[in-house]
Each structure stands twice: as C-alpha cells, then as structure tokens.
Homo-oligomer: A and B are copies of this chain.
C-alpha cells in the first residue's frame, strides 16, 4: 500500500469510530468491533459477567443511553449527547434532584485547561458522575440540579476481538490494542486504526511468524485473554502494545521487562536508522497492557511502541484528544515503522558462510569491483563483507546489522545475494 492511501484509509477508519461511546464492556465496544470486521475477519469473543480471570472477575456489562444535568431553569448544562466524555464511564443509573454541594462531589474538571472535558472512569466501584469543562463547573450557580443518568449495569458479557494469521511457524508475534476508550483519538483509536491496517496487510502475504491481533478492553481485557488462553502464551515470542500512534510527537519505545529481547533490538534498530528522532525508555510496570503481559508469571517479550506515550501529552484523556490531534501522515508513519520492525523480525535468521576460511573471491562472482586500489569499499561491498565475516552460525542478520552499523535492509539484501551464489547457507532448524 502506498503512503498516501494508508494515510487516508487509517484516518477515515478513526473518523468512523470516533463518535461511539465505548467502555470496557457494552454495545459501544461491540459496535466498534463490527466496524473493524469490515476490514479484517475479526473473531468476537463474549465472556460472561462473573467469570473468574486470575485475581479479577469479569464485571457486569455497562450500557448508556442518555445523561444530563439540568439547571433549575430547565437547561441541560451538561449533556451526554454533546460529548460522551461527559459521563463518568461506568456511572450507575441515577435520577433525582441533587444539591449543588453534593453534586460537586460527582463532578470532574481540569482547572489547568478550562475548555477541556476530562475522561474519568469508575469501573470497579459503583459511583455516578459527570466530567465537564472548568468553565462549565464555574458557571454552576443554582442551589439544586436535576441529574439524569439512563445507564444500565447488569450481568452480560465482556467482548473482545481477535484475529489470528497463521504463519510458517507456530511462534507468534502479538499486537495488542486496548479499544475501550470513548471519543478519544490518539488514545486509543489511533492504535485500533493502525493495527487494523497492519493486520489486513499481513493477512495478504506469507509470513514466517504467526500474528495475533487483540482488540481488548484495557487491563481486564488482557487479563481475561491471558486467563482463557494459558495454553497459547508460551508461543508468543515477540509482542508490541500499540497505542498513541497518531500524534505529532516522535516515536517512543518502552522496552520489555527482559530488556534485551529480540523485539527490543529490532525496534531500536529500526528507529535508529529511521532518520527521525526517537526515544528508548526502560521498562516500567505502569502504562498499558504490557503491564499484564510482563507480569512475573508470564514475562513475555512485549514492548510498547507509541508516538508520545500515555500521560505525556496534555491532551491525554481529555476532549482535546480529538480528530485534530491525530494526523493522517503520522498514522501512516507509525504504520510503516511497525512494518519495518516486523520485517526485521521476519528476516532475522542466522546463516553459515560456506567458505569460512579467508574471504571468498567475490570479484569472480561479479560482487566486487575489478579495479583495485581505491580508498573505500562500496556500501554494498561492506554489507557483503560483514555478512560473510559474521555468518558463523552464531550471529543473526540483526546481530550483523547492529555490529556493522549498517541498516538491516542492506544486510538482508547482501545475505540474499550471497545465498544466490551459494556463499551462504541456511542454518538448519
């Protein structure tokens, strides 16, 4: 897919998903998965309320139809229909007159950004509430307000989407996106969009690894998946948690708990040679679902690759994380960087130099300049020499790329040329 096409497609998908009020359960999440199914053959799983998943229990399903705060004059001063961020996500149903002082205990605003609505949740403690701009809050002068929340919190299901692409190997590459946020674009619609198009692309080609895409509610979703799929976990060899991939910031990679996994090295290599600024961060047990994949009982090689990481942009978890905040070209850039990383992991094999004693004579095979005496070898000649020198069965192509400082793609090309002349052979197994 060319860059221009990718830009438009991913951005349009995000536009479609934007208005829906998602949560960790409920119809908003289901509806979003149905939209993704128009692009990839997503399998939807429904896990009943009450299912025990490790230390957690699948919660009741939450749905919301309407909610508002009405002034004494009958004006809706806060209205869910205008922004689904206005409702404290997972608010229990409520209806009644509330004194201003009591009401304010149920209101959340951002004094430092007086025009922005914050996003707040109360999944695991029954509560009701509204999120509103500081300006709205400051204008509440009545003694009493009419509060109306038409929601339900009942036994039902936790929904998640899964797409498995079988590869040559049973070993898996996991890409996990939380998909539970309402109208927030960078976190998490950008991840859902890029992951969908990545899945679409990979499903149309032959891959060495199998790929598993998860579109799940944050925390409870990954815990649920891990709990219901313990038999599959040992097959996950590499993984990336994807979120916040549409803003204008540079790429940030948070390493796996292991710290030097192949995925850590592949991401670092691609970012280092990308020509763009980037930052590599050490693992920490805070963040997105890598927290669960990296728990000590699993310790999976799953990192987190974002543009600006969660919590580090002002718009994070506010109404300002909107369709203007994500950029089509940044989504495409993230998409191509993920692809480049996958390309490294797919092709990171070890080879054996079939003429390990001395250099083979490259000139007679047309791989080396015939006029001698010049100052430098060409870049291509250097790639050939590095691959030959380190192809002792111990070094993978990524090892060679790292040690030589040459981009993986050049090393990979050189290896292919050497394979073609039988100067290299595959390491069996």
- Chain A residues at the B interface, C-beta cutoff of 8 Å: 53-56, 89, 108, 118-125, 127, 219, 222-223, 226-227, 257, 284-286, 291-292, 294-299, 310-311, 316-317, 353, 355-361, 363-364, 370-377, 382, 385-386, 388-392, 404
Contact = CB atoms under 8 A, between A and B. Distances in A.
25 contacts: A89-B373, A122-B371, A127-B370, A222-B358, A223-B358, A223-B359, A227-B357, A227-B358, A284-B386, A285-B359, A285-B382, A285-B389, A286-B377, A286-B382, A291-B359, A291-B385, A295-B356, A295-B357, A295-B389, A297-B355, A298-B358, A311-B375, A311-B376, A317-B373, A317-B374
A223 B295 CA distance: 50
Q: Specify how many copies of this chain sit in the oligomer.
A: 3
A51 to B, nearest CB: 14
Contacts of A226: 357-358
Contacts of A125: 363, 370
Contacts of A372: 89, 120-123
A404 B284 contact: yes
Given A124-B361, A363-B125, A373 B119 contact: yes
A296 B375 contact: no
B358 A124 contact: no
Nearest to A370: B125
A308 to B, nearest CB: 12
Nearest to A362: B55
A389 B222 contact: no
Given A285-B389, A291-B385, A358-B295, A373 B120 contact: yes
Contacts of A392: 296, 299
A227 B358 CA distance: 9
Instruction: Please give me the 9 A-B residue pairs with the lowest Cβ-Cβ distance, nearest first.
Output: A297-B356, A297-B357, A285-B389, A296-B392, A121-B372, A311-B375, A125-B370, A285-B385, A223-B358
